[in-house]
């Protein structure tokens, strides 16, 4: 059974004063709460975050920049290890964070599909079996045998999205992906996202777009300075937003 | 605590070894990228090696008997030295260069280490062709002793991933080290008996010969071919050094593998 259970999640990390011969440049984190002084400075990026998701849930992460949305996605993906609390994930996870991440500029689109597949842990047979479908969905046509560096932003995004969703991940984590691709491709992407969710998967999407969240998600988690408000249904959230606007 | 650290490190290494297709593919890709628009491609690696070896052989070879087998001496010395130099200078910037991958994927850190290792082995393969050619031309006879040289190469290669790990972490927590290491390695070529011979010379040469760990990694590959005997003391030293490096590398990996993402 696909599920995500997060209990009292806390993520803090030390701001390392690197040993350096150069004059010290203070390192600033992108968000979170700064604590401590001098060499003991640390950042609390997430604090006391708890929620549960089950098959079919589509969670929207909202909050201002630096609230911890991307950080939470990266904890769920396994890039950041929680400092304390528990994160239990049941299901095959795939993530779509940064479009250009993990693509080799000099290699062709086709070769990039193989590399991305291998990085995602697919076997050569699985990659071969899905190759044509990925190329078709990405609509890259003959460009698939051109180097990746010749692609426009939109083409790169289409390829990234096609690969990330090709293996039908049970849990898909996405960070503001929707800005990419033209309107028609966005429609296609939305349809595939919805289909993935219907196939009893879980989707977690961080976004600032209210319209997108309202259309895609059924639950909303609001983050603020690393702490989370209780989970809301998308209707409750919209009602609260309307109220605040009045 | 210590056991948990080692276990965590071994987990990382284990999952990286299961993903060997990834690092083999990425290593090939990188070497291809470096030479993509050149006419000779990776053959430049061979030419570079031959140019260095040729220069040393023609400039430094003397007619006297103290330098018997000098071409073979330089050929094998340069092969090992270039390998060590490339591994160390590249590894200091390894994790920093892979920042976007480390911050965006869950690949075990050992995948990056093995990828650099693989890359360095492929590149050394081109130099090895040149080395074999010089050995053949130098007229030195193939003997069973060459098996010991091969074993010496295996020791060098087996130590490399541990050294890469240590230097990669060093580069993350002490950024200036990349310049220190690349400078030291450039100077190191002259401070290590790569192209000069020791001959019990004493003085400064003795210090650089005796207290230089690289000397022994060169010797275990070179001495069996050149002198026809087994440098057992050097072998013991290199294996011991290798094991110490691996122990230190495992501790670092176990302790820092989940921390590095916050530090780069």
Averaged pLDDT, groups of 10, chain A, 246 residues long: 90 73 59 68 87 90 88 91 92 79 84 88 89 91 92 86 83 74 78 76 88 86 88 88 83
ipTM surpasses cut 0.85: no
Residue-wise pLDDT for B7-62, tens only, equals 999 999 999 999 989 899 889 888 888 887 788 888 888 999 999 999 988 887 76
Is B263's CB within 8 Å of A18's CB?
yes
Set of chain B residues whose Cβ sits within 8 Å of the Cβ of A74: 103
A233 touches chain B (CB under 8 A): no
Confidence of residue B164 (pLDDT cuts 50, 70, 90): very high
B18 touches chain A (CB under 8 A): no
Among A16, A81, A119, select the one facing B263 at the smallest CB separation: A16
Is B173's CB within 8 Å of A16's CB?
yes
CB pairs under 8 A between A and B: 66
Q: Output the 3-class SS for chain A.
A: CCEEEEEEEEEEEECCCCCCCCCCCCCCCCCCEEECCHHHCEEEEEEEEEEEEECCCEEEEECCCCCCHHHHHHHHHCCCCCCEEEEEEECCEEEECCCCCCCCCCCEHHHHHHHHHHHCCCCHHHHHHHHHHHHHHHCCHHHHHCEHHHCCHHHHHHHHHHHHHHCCCCEEEEECHHHCCCHHHHHHHHHHHHHHHHCCCEEEEECCCHHHHHHHCCEEEEEECCEECCCEEHHHHHHHHHHHHC
CA distance B186 to chain A (A): 21
Is B19's CB within 8 Å of A121's CB?
yes
Is A119's CB within 8 Å of B107's CB?
yes
Chain A residue closest in CA terms to B264: A16
Residue-wise pLDDT for B209-254, tens only, equals 888 899 999 999 999 998 888 999 999 999 999 999 999 999 999 9
Residue-wise pLDDT for B100-146, tens only, equals 888 888 889 999 999 999 999 999 999 999 999 999 988 887 888 89
Among B25, B106, B263, select the one facing A115 at the smallest CB separation: B25
């Amino acid at each position: 059974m696909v599920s995500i259970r997060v209990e009292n999640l806390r993520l803090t990390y030390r701001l390392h004063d690197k040993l350096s011969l150069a004059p010290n440049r203070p390192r600033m984190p992108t968000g979170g709460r700064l604590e401590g002084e001098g060499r003991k400075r640390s950042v609390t990026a997430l604090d006391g975050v708890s929620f549960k998701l089950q098959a079919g849930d589509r969670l929207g992460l909202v909050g201002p920049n630096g609230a911890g949305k991307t950080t939470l996605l990266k904890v769920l993906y396994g890039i950041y290890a929680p400092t304390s609390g528990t994160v239990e994930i049941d299901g095959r996870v795939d993530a779509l964070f940064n479009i250009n991440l993990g693509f080799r500029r000099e290699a062709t689109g086709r070769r990039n599909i193989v590399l991305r597949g291998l990085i995602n842990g697919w076997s050569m047979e699985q990659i071969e079996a899905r190759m044509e479908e990925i190329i078709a969905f990405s609509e890259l046509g003959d460009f698939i045998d051109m180097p990746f560096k010749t692609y426009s932003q939109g083409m790169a995004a289409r390829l990234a999205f096609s690969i990330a969703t090709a293996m039908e991940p049970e849990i898909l984590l996405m960070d503001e992906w929707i800005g990419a691709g033209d309107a028609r491709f966005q429609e296609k992407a939305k349809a595939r996202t919805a289909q993935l969710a219907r196939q009893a998967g879980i989707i977690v999407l961080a976004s600032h777009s209210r319209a997108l969240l309202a259309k895609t998600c059924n639950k909303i988690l609001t983050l603020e300075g690393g702490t989370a408000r209780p989970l809301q249904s998308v209707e409750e959230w919209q009602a609260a937003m309307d109220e605040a606007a009045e | 605590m210590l056991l948990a650290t080692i276990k965590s490190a071994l987990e990382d290494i284990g999952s990286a070894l299961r993903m060997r297709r990834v690092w083999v593919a990425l290593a090939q890709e990188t070497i291809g990228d470096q030479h993509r628009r050149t006419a000779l491609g990776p053959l430049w690696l061979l030419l570079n090696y031959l140019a260095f070896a040729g220069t040393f052989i023609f400039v430094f070879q003397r007619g006297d008997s103290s330098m018997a087998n000098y071409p073979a001496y330089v050929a094998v010395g340069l092969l090992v030295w270039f390998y060590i130099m490339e591994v160390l200078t590249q590894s200091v910037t390894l994790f920093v260069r892979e920042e976007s991958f480390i911050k965006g994927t869950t690949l075990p850190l050992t995948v990056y280490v093995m990828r650099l290792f693989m890359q360095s082995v492929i590149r050394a393969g081109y130099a090895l062709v040149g080395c074999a050619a010089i050995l053949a031309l130098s007229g030195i006879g193939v003997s069973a002793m060459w098996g010991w040289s091969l074993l010496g190469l295996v020791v060098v290669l087996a130590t490399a991933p541990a050294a890469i790990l240590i230097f990669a972490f060093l580069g993350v927590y002490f950024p200036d080290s990349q310049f220190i290491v690349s400078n030291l390695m450039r100077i190191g070529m002259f401070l290590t008996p790569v192209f000069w011979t020791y001959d019990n010379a004493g003085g400064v040469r003795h210090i650089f010969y005796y207290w230089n760990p690289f000397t022994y990694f060169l010797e275990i590959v070179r001495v069996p071919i050149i002198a026809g005997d087994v440098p057992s003391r050097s072998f013991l030293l290199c294996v011991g050094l290798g094991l110490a490096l691996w122990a230190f590398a495992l501790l670092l990996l176990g302790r820092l593998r989940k921390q590095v993402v916050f530090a780069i």
